[in-house]
Structure 1
Amino acid sequence: MTCVCAAAIFVLTHGLAAQTTGRELFEDVAFERGFLLTAASHPVPTIELGVLRTAAQASALPPAWGMAQWASRFLLEPGGCTNIVRNRWRAETPGKRIVIARTTPERTCLRLEVFGTTEYAGRMRAYGEPWPHLLIEQRFKKPIAPAPLKRLAFAVEMRVPYCKPLSGAAMNPSLHTAHVTAFWTVHNHRPDSPDFQDMIWFGIPFFDARQEIPGPHYALDSGKADASNKFICTLDGRRFWQGPTGDGRWRSLVTDLRQRLREGLAIAQDHGHLKNTSFEDLAITTFNLGWEIPGPYDAAIEFRGLSLKAFD
């Protein structure tokens, strides 16, 4: 009886703790297991180069995170990062650099840096030309259904130390920028729905070189040969950020992604997408965050405290 009671107390207290602290849904938020690097193009199946280690020894577990390098001339290669100083690791090419700084697992800082002036060899990007990416991405082992949750808390701190255009370049705002958005792929997962397996890109914008705070963006993913042709719903950044997001200051974001996704579905339906989908049909399948550089900019972003927690 004592053992049964003790077990019951453990289950009860563990359950209460989960309700107050939430369940972390991102794996390896300290990036200790490294990154699975992509090649420059992504046919089906995706070409993967191998693992970039972010610790002295290779992890016994496979990476939870990928690192996308689409349309890049200078690719990070598999192998080990350079240990700069204690708990600080770096990998770089002429076109990009990453730095990982670990104080505690929860405070790991990741810096993503792209040298767009080198990637474009000092010229302007042309219409229809693909653009360099440097993104981290994670596919959830089990798709996340937001409807049954009380809350789905997304949190991160970020700063943009610099973003500099090619000197003397006349940028075309419709073609050239450097921007960072947190994106989730959100699918209809109800097998008997007419929209089954259809999806949208749902985003929260962090930075855009054309604006002090990036605004909303609703459009089809198009403009290049490998585009998904699915609806992009990016909310208005002014709802999440106070002050210019490119001023180099640390800024914090905490939001209930469950409620934001409900809004995103309504916007998608207003634009003619997922018309046969209810909120209860939705499931989140992947996440990505990092640079897209459709213009000759050199730019860096740092983020820490990345978290996605479910509250039942």
Structure 2
Amino acid sequence: MKTIELLSDPQFKTGFHVLGINPTINHRKTYKHLDYNGEAYQTNWPIWQMAQWWTPYNLIDATFKKITDCYVYDTPSRRIEVNPKKGFLRLNLSGSKEYPQGVRTSGNQPWSHLLIEQDFDESVSLDTLQALNLKLNFNIEAVEDHNEGQFNPNLHAAQLLWYFVIHDKGIEGSAGYGNFKEFFWFGIPIYDNRYPFIEESMHVDQGGIGTTGRLIYSMSSRNYLKEPIQMGKDYTIEIDILPFVLKAKQYALDHGYLKKHDQSNYQIGYMNFGWELPGRFDVKSHIQGISALAVIK
């Protein structure tokens, strides 16, 4: 049985290439390589990217320090800590600093992101798969509410999310996110402060600046979490998401979100993971052992 680990560098040895602040202007351009002061493994092309959409504190200005085997980048509102020997990644984001003027008051206002992303070296077609096994160890250490009594669940949230893009074969001669003609988002939601469990949902990515207008299909967290997340507790996700991906693809076809009906046209070729903070929350978290293993028929 052939297996393919879709994620390159799951231990983050190559560092992170930082995207801009405004996705509608900066698009996929990278502005700095978090290369651990030159100690990151060198590659011929960027593997991991890091999105920092809408922050007032650009990561290109982050301070750097090394503590034993950990590389630490700090801005006033976020901390990135990486231990490549252990495959450890800390993602802390302070909404209280990201929103100095107070809470968002409209759904059209953008919100803060701290995401890691990558295009897969080898995209796999859905019709070749027997399974798609995900694994992740994570710990949400703290989620602090700084909405100052103005919390509105329709506008404000702290969300830790894992997304894949299910897409066509892309524009001829091009590869990677931004070059897909037909695609939708497939979500494995980890945490949302508004709910003990996150239920299955289907909606269009719209409202804020830079949204894609594409279907977002999220599976229920009840499929891989046995209890509501407790702060400071270690959790492990292990699940074959292929049945849910095929269900989502069929939903997208049936409801006009995809145009091509040949399953072989659809592949898995990109992912992102991290925090989205429409609300004024301070969050602290770390992960290890991230994996997306494709099992070929």
Give 1 or 2 for the bigger CA radius of gyration.
1
- Equivalent runs, 1:34-53 vs 2, <5 Å: 34-42=15-23, 43=25, 45-53=27-35
User: Given the two structures, how large is their TM-score scaled by the length of structure 1?
Assistant: 0.84
Counterpart of 2:162? 182
Counterpart of 2:137? 157
Instruction: Name the SS of the counterpart of 2:245 in structure 1.
Output: helix
Counterpart of 1:7? none
Counterpart of 1:24? 5
Aligned length: 285
Structure 1's 119 and 147: CA in aligned 2 closer, same or farther, altered over 3 A? same
Please point out which of 92, 107, 115 is paired with 1:113: 92
Counterpart of 1:3? none
Instruction: In structure 1, list runs of 5 or more residues that go unmatched.
Output: 1-18
Counterpart of 1:8? none
Counterpart of 2:59? 76
Structure 1's 268 and 301: CA in aligned 2 closer, same or farther, altered over 3 A? farther
Aligned counterparts of 1:124 and 1:57: Cα–Cα separation in 2: 39
Structure 1's 174 and 79: CA in aligned 2 closer, same or farther, altered over 3 A? closer
Deviation at 1:293, TM superposition (A): 0.5
Aligned counterparts of 2:72 and 2:235: Cα–Cα separation in 1: 24
Instruction: Name the SS of the counterpart of 2:236 in structure 1.
Output: strand
Q: Find out whether 1:239 has 2:220 as its counterpart.
A: no
Alpha-carbon RMSD across the aligned residues, in angstroms, is 2.2
Deviation at 1:48, TM superposition (A): 1.8
Aligned counterparts of 1:80 and 1:165: Cα–Cα separation in 2: 26
Q: Which has the higher contact order (CA 8 A, sep 6+)?
A: 2
Percent same amino acid at aligned positions? 27
Cα contact 1:34–1:55 (8 A) shared by 2: no
Cα contact 1:134–1:291 (8 A) shared by 2: yes
Deviation at 1:103, TM superposition (A): 4.5
- 1:64-120 Cα shifts (integer Å, max 9, x gaps): 1000001111121278842112x112111011111113444xxx1111010001110
Deviation at 1:56, TM superposition (A): 5.2
Deviation at 1:311, TM superposition (A): 2.0
Cα contact 1:201–1:232 (8 A) shared by 2: yes
The runs of 4+ residues in structure 1 deviating greater than 6 Å are none
Counterpart of 1:262? 246
Cα contact 2:115–2:272 (8 A) shared by 1: yes
- 1:152-201 Cα shifts (integer Å, max 9, x gaps): 2111111211111106322100000010111011113399xxxx821101
Aligned counterparts of 1:79 and 1:297: Cα–Cα separation in 2: 21
Cα contact 1:188–1:277 (8 A) shared by 2: no
- Equivalent runs, 1:1-312 vs 2, <5 Å: 19=1, 22-42=3-23, 43=25, 45-54=27-36, 57-61=39-43, 62-77=45-60, 81-85=64-68, 87-104=69-86, 108-121=87-100, 123-127=102-106, 128-166=108-146, 168-189=148-169, 197-274=181-258, 276-312=260-296
Cα contact 1:176–1:294 (8 A) shared by 2: yes
Aligned counterparts of 2:294 and 2:124: Cα–Cα separation in 1: 9
Cα contact 1:125–1:295 (8 A) shared by 2: yes
Query: What letter corresponds to residue 31 of structure 1 in structure 2?
Result: F
Instruction: Name the SS of the counterpart of 1:147 in structure 2.
Output: helix
User: Given the two structures, how large is their TM-score scaled by the length of structure 2?
Assistant: 0.88
Query: What letter corresponds to residue 178 of structure 1 in structure 2?
Result: A
Aligned counterparts of 1:64 and 1:246: Cα–Cα separation in 2: 32
Aligned counterparts of 2:40 and 2:63: Cα–Cα separation in 1: 8
Cα contact 1:99–1:110 (8 A) shared by 2: yes
Deviation at 1:150, TM superposition (A): 2.0
